[in-house]
Amino acid sequence: MGLLSYVCMLYCACLIFTVTYVSTQPHKTKEPIIITDSNWTSVLDGEWMIEFMAPWCPACKSFKEVWNEFAGWGHDLDISVGVIDVTENPGLSGRFLVTSLPTLYHVKDGDFRCYQGIRKTTDLIALIDEKKWNNIEPVAWYRSPSSIQMGILGNFFTAAMFIRGVYNTMTDVYGIPEWLCYVIFAILTIITGLLLGLLLVLCCDSFFPAKYIPLPPERLAHKPRDDPTDDDDIIDDTADQKKGNPPATLPASSLSGPENNSDLRKRPPHKDE
Ligand SMILES: *[C@@H]1O[C@H](CO)[C@@H](O)[C@H](O)[C@H]1NC(C)=O
Ligand SMILES: *[C@@H]1O[C@H](CO)[C@@H](O)[C@H](O)[C@H]1NC(C)=O
């Protein structure tokens, strides 16, 4: 009896100790590092896990707790955990072609991998600790966020966001009606197009100056006679066909080059003369 209660007490103590130990173990959370359009290149250094989010996205709000907890593990896992607000950094959402939120990326040695697995702290830790990211195919070179073309795409996103901001200011702050905004944007687009076209023409002109190629003198000399000879040509051609010349000879003569061709054309008038 004494032994049994002793064992029971010991068991209970163990249980209580385990429960209190687990629950009182410091619940590490940390704010992830904020990454912006201007300092995003720091993710190319070392190993990173980054999250794309937006304040309005409900899935991001519920994921925030997990991400902060994961960021708390960052030091132990020897990685940096970052967060990107796409509403403030449209250039980065263009660069990474973010189509859904939240989007998670693993970045190491310039390789970008989009993580689409389970979004739980334990899974995220396993992804890094057990190097499970090795199983994910890195983003192809032509879509790599550090490439020039994706940078250009990022600039387009920034420009689009800027125009959207201007539009919102026009409608909300200045109370300009929507249709007028569209008219203004249409006119601006046309003007920009014209200016770009003008610029292109000017560039072409300065790099490849147009050469004046005067008409060859013999052409100028023959010019007055051109019209009658043209008529002769037509008449002669039909005459040839009437005579029953095989049409197969025509392609052959045309193959022999423009000089021969023109010779043929000029022959009939010479005969006449
Ligand atoms: C980037 O800039 C933001 C604010 O400008 C700053 O809070 C953040 O720490 C910077 N991130 C890095 C990786 O330097
Ligand atoms: C013109 O055609 C003749 C045959 O009809 C050929 O001998 C001659 O080389 C051709 N000349 C040119 C410039 O092609």
**114 belongs to the catalytic site:** no
33 lines ligand 1 (CB under 6 A): yes
257 lines ligand 2 (CB under 6 A): yes
Closest residue by CA, ligand 2 atom 11: 260
Amino acid identity for residue 251 in this structure: P
For the stretch 219-253, pLDDT in tens is 666 555 555 555 555 555 555 555 555 544 445 44
Q: Return the higher-pLDDT residue of 224 and 31.
A: 31
**8 belongs to the catalytic site:** no
pLDDT at residue 198 in the model: 93
> For residue 258, which ligand has an atom nearest its CA?
2
Which H, E and C letters describe 28-60, residue by residue?
A: CCCCCEECCCCCHHHHHCCEEEEEEECCCCHHH
Tokens encoding 239: 């005459």
259 lines ligand 2 (CB under 6 A): yes
Q: 107 CB contacts (<8 Å, ≥6 apart)? A: 43, 44, 47, 48, 49, 50, 113
Report the candidate in 99, 141, 136, 93 with the shortest Cα–Cα distance to residue 115.
Answer: 136
For the stretch 175-217, pLDDT in tens is 888 888 889 889 999 999 999 999 999 988 888 776 666 666 6
pTM confidence score: 0.56
pLDDT at residue 34 tops 50? yes
CA distance 114 to 44: 15
pLDDT at residue 222 in the model: 59
Q: Which atom of ligand 2 is nearest to the CA of 263?
A: 1
34 lines ligand 1 (CB under 6 A): yes
Report the candidate in 7, 64, 62 with the shortest Cα–Cα distance to residue 31.
Answer: 64
Q: Which atom of ligand 1 is nearest to the CA of 33?
A: 9
Helix (H) / strand (E) element for 84: namely: strand 80-85
The helix/strand/coil state of 146 is coil
Handedness of CA 97, 40, 80, 31 (dihedral sign): negative
